[in-house]
Amino acid sequence: MTSPTGTQAVDRAAQLLIEVARRRDPVTFTELATASGLAKSTTSRLLTALERNGLVRRDPAGRFAPGEVFVSYAWRGGAEADLVSVAQPVLSRLGDCTGETVNLGVPRDGGLVEQIAQVDSRYLIGGTNWVGLAVPLHCAALGKVLLAFGAAELPRGPLEARTDRSITSRTGLATELAEVRRRGYAVTLEELEPGLVAVAAPVFTGGGAVVAALSVSGPASRLTASELPDVAARCAAAARSLSVLLGHDKEGAS
């Protein structure tokens, strides 16, 4: 007996989803069509629906992997590698709309913040790869966010002056962090490196704790005073979206 059209479509979509989920590595469209035995037009239509609902996602090469729904559910165990998987589509969208370098940072011992994921700038100037690099909390936008929302602590001792604009007074930094909490994002203006400007916003977990920070950075010649408010708003919106994927309440994340 032939299955009703709706049930048949669900069965076929489930077949594709299982095929994506069981693979260790992302799988190509051709491989999925071959493995499922479905027509390419049917495979394309079903994959588009699965992608639209966050059940599968495409990597930069166009291959298919489990989507945000599955990866965010798996992340709730707390693995940092899974955090990167959940965050990557959000980072990519933020990079597309700003054109600048986008980073995800987490706290490290010794008063540092480490960038664990990046989307590169579309420009040649400002295209540094920051992944794996740890920098002082107090002079990075990512670090200011982590400090302001209690995800990291300053080490004892003097605050390093990375540039002549770095904040080296703990009192001055405390004032700055209060402002970060008030407006919901941090800004650094050539405090880590001459010519480098960045904004960052907090990423919350389901329990309401800040687990990471999301940033947009670029040269001062592009991220000017007139451009920063819009870039900061886009960064904060992306961080809220990522927070929701990690289980944070939408209302609480806004």
Write down the pTM of the prediction: 0.70
Least confident interval from 14-18, 51-55, 195-199: 51-55
200 membership: H or E segment, kind and range: strand 196-204
| Tens-digit pLDDT profile for residues 106-144 | 998 889 999 999 999 888 776 677 787 889 999 999 999
Phi, psi angles (nearest 5°) of residue 60: -60, -25
Name the band, by pLDDT with cuts 50, 70 and 90, for residue 3: very low
Choose between 111 and 81: higher pLDDT: 111
Q: How confident is the model at residue 2 (pLDDT cuts 50, 70, 90)?
A: very low
Q: Is the pLDDT of residue 74 over 60?
A: no
| 143 close to 137: Cβ distance less than 8 angstroms | yes
93 — pLDDT class (breaks 50, 70, 90): very high
Burial of 78 (0-12, 13-18, 19+ CB in 10 A): exposed
Thinking of the domain 78-253, which architecture would CATH place it in?
A: 2-Layer Sandwich (3.30)
Q: What is the pLDDT of residue 83?
A: 83
Write down the pLDDT at residue 31.
92
pLDDT digits (tens, 9 = 90+) for 190-219: 999 999 999 999 999 877 889 899 999 999
Specify the DSSP class assigned to residue 203: E
Q: Domain residue spans in the chain?
A: 5-66, 78-253
Band (1; pLDDT cuts 50, 70, 90): very low
Q: Are 150 and 144 in contact (CB under 8 A)?
A: no
**What is the pLDDT at residue 239?**
96
Q: Name the average pLDDT for the chain.
A: 86
Angle between helix axes 80-98 and 228-245 (nearest 10 degrees) is 150
- Please state the rounded mean pLDDT for residues 63-67: 82
CB 49 within 8 A of CB 86: no
Which architecture, in CATH terms, is 5-66?
A: Orthogonal Bundle (1.10)
What is the average per-residue pLDDT within 15-22? 87
**φ and ψ of 22, to 5 deg:** -80, -15
